């Protein structure tokens, strides 16, 4: 494998040249790839890390979760740019995406196994941040597979496929992780073996075509800036989409990042009862997000519109967030899961990715720019607990976090509504 400067254009055949079996393999690979990276990540950040911190640092667990989030967000930002750019620049017989996804899978697996043995707060924080670094070696190249291989008229459907995988992974992660609330070390090991498969699945089911013979433009300062920096020209809508995505995910994870503590410390449940409720939420989320996600992507392609569906999902997220605020009982969290984590997230994750493809300022740097956009997704998941941690620090409880998160989601809807280059 070598990394050289991009010649532009996709290296894989377009769907127009694929057989029906080729389409089926790509769909299967995208679903499994999404499940196998997002599942271990969500299980770790929402259940396993908080559970482990409850064991080794119960008096400072809220502050440590916030610290993990802040430091991890910086690492994720740098990693998305780095591995996205390296993917765009790579020339190899395996194509430009596969080598980095395989590297990320193997390394992240090893780090999760190491995390299962961490006995101190320092060890948890350092290992998790390095884990965040290599996790994005999977994610940044993976999200570029769709614009590499799928024409614009079908991207809503393929984005729905990827979104369904994301929803299955997120919901399934909480179902599985909820069984390890009292034994997070075993949970980390299980998640490590799962993520080991994420990159190889795509390589085996839907391999990229060799791009080893592509021309190699001469190195220059302009090429370096284009491939290792934030977009600078024609990127207004790109940044609006990124900001809207960040706020949507931040609003959601400000609650899910502390869901264990919300059930135990805010709603008065014991750890076993909280684990059962988290599993129930995850099942509700899974069913509704699958149905809504599978429908929303093809509807978006048929209508030729992305923005209205994404804005509607963001507003619905805010509505669901208000339910546990006005009705502070455990059952309200199930309603929140149905509205916000099921319907709203299902539609958003299916259509927002297609909207992201529509606002890319430079298709030749697709993985790098999509990596930056995905930083909004990862950053929102990381910064959400920071928001709730700040609310808890100011108010002394979790209740006020729900309306604060709803306002954040509504601001995201306004930003997405201002996008001009996509309908």
- For residues 347 and 189, what is the distance between their CA atoms, to the nearest angstrom? 32
Structure tokens at 263: 């059930």
- For residues 211 and 12, what is the distance between their CA atoms, to the nearest angstrom? 9
215 - beta bridge partners? none
Domain carrying residue 142: 20-207+220-417
Residues 6+ apart with CB under 8 A from 414: none
91 - beta bridge partners? 2
pLDDT of residue 226: 65
Task: Count the neighbouring beta carbons within 10 Å of the beta carbon of residue 113.
Answer: 17
Query: 0.85 cut: is pTM over it?
Result: no
Has residue 212 been placed in a domain? no
Q: What is the pLDDT along the chain (423 residues), one digit of tens a residue?
A: 333 333 333 334 444 455 566 678 888 999 999 999 999 998 998 889 988 888 888 878 878 877 887 787 788 778 878 888 888 888 888 888 899 999 999 999 999 999 999 888 889 989 999 998 999 899 888 888 888 888 777 788 888 888 788 878 877 887 888 889 889 999 999 999 999 999 999 889 988 888 777 776 666 666 666 667 777 777 899 999 999 999 999 999 899 888 888 998 888 888 888 888 988 998 898 889 889 888 988 898 888 888 999 999 999 999 999 999 999 898 999 999 999 999 999 899 889 888 988 888 877 777 778 877 877 877 787 788 889 989 999 998 899 999 999 999 999 999 999 998 877
- For residues 223 and 219, what is the distance between their CA atoms, to the nearest angstrom? 7
Task: Give, as one character, the DSSP assignment of residue 154.
Answer: G
pLDDT of residue 171: 74
Check which CATH number belongs to the domain holding 179 and give it.
1.20.1250.20
- For residues 154 and 262, what is the distance between their CA atoms, to the nearest angstrom? 40
From 186, 181, 86, select the one nearest 137 (Cα to Cα).
Answer: 86
Domain count, the chain: 1
- For residues 288 and 376, what is the distance between their CA atoms, to the nearest angstrom? 24
3-state DSSP call for residue 421?
coil
- For residues 368 and 227, what is the distance between their CA atoms, to the nearest angstrom? 7
- For residues 289 and 349, what is the distance between their CA atoms, to the nearest angstrom? 9
pLDDT of residue 115: 92
Has residue 422 been placed in a domain? no
From 410, 155, 411, select the one nearest 306 (Cα to Cα).
Answer: 155
pLDDT of residue 227: 66
Has residue 104 been placed in a domain? yes
Has residue 235 been placed in a domain? yes
Has residue 5 been placed in a domain? no
Has residue 8 been placed in a domain? no
Q: Determine the number of helices (DSSP H) and then strands (DSSP E) in the chain.
A: 18, 2
Has residue 13 been placed in a domain? no
Q: Is residue 113 a contact partner of residue 339, using CB atoms and an 8 Å limit?
A: no
With 0-12 / 13-18 / 19 or more C-beta atoms within 10 angstroms meaning exposed / middle / buried, residue 340 is buried
Has residue 110 been placed in a domain? yes
pLDDT of residue 217: 60
Q: Is residue 132 a contact partner of residue 87, using CB atoms and an 8 Å limit?
A: no
């Amino acid at each position: 494998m070598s990394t050289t400067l991009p010649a532009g254009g996709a290296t894989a055949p377009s769907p127009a040249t694929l057989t029906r079996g080729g389409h089926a393999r790509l769909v299967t690979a995208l679903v499994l790839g999404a499940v196998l990276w997002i599942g271990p990540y969500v299980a770790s950040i929402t259940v396993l890390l908080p559970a482990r911190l409850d064991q080794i640092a119960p008096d400072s667990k809220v502050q440590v979760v916030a610290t993990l989030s802040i430091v991890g967000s910086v690492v994720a930002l740098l990693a998305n740019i780095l591995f996205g750019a390296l993917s765009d620049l790579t020339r190899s017989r395996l194509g430009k995406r596969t080598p980095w996804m395989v590297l990320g899978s193997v390394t992240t697996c090893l780090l999760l196994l190491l995390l299962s043995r961490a006995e101190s707060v320092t060890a948890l924080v350092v290992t998790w941040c390095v884990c965040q670094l290599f996790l994005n070696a999977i994610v940044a190249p993976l999200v570029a597979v769709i614009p590499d291989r799928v024409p614009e008229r079908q991207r809503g459907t393929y984005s729905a496929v990827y979104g369904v995988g994301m929803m299955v992974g997120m919901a399934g992660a909480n179902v599985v992780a909820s069984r390890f609330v009292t034994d997070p070390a075993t949970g980390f090991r299980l998640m490590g073996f799962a993520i080991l498969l994420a990159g190889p699945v795509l390589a085996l089911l839907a391999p990229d075509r060799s791009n080893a013979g592509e021309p190699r433009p001469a190195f220059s300062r302009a090429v370096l800036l284009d491939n290792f920096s934030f977009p600078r020209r024609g990127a207004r809508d790109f940044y609006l989409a990124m900001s809207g995505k960040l706020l949507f995910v931040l609003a959601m994870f400000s609650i899910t990042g502390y869901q264990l503590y919300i059930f135990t410390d805010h709603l008065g449940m014991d750890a076993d009862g909280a684990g059962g409720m988290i599993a129930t939420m995850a099942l509700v989320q899974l069913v509704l997000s699958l149905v809504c996600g599978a429908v929303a992507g093809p509807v978006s392609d048929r209508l030729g519109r992305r923005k209205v569906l994404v804005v509607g999902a963001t507003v619905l997220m805010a509505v669901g967030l208000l339910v546990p605020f006005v009705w502070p009982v455990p059952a309200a969290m199930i309603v929140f899961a149905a509205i916000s984590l099921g319907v709203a997230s299902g539609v958003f994750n299916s259509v927002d990715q297609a909207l992201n493809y529509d606002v890319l300022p430079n298709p030749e740097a697709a993985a790098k720019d999509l990596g930056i956009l995905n930083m909004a997704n990862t950053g929102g998941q990381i910064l959400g607990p920071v928001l709730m941690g700040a609310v808890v620090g100011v108010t002394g409880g979790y209740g006020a976090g729900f309306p604060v998160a709803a306002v954040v989601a509504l601001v995201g809807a306004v930003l997405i509504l201002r996008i001009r280059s996509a309908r």
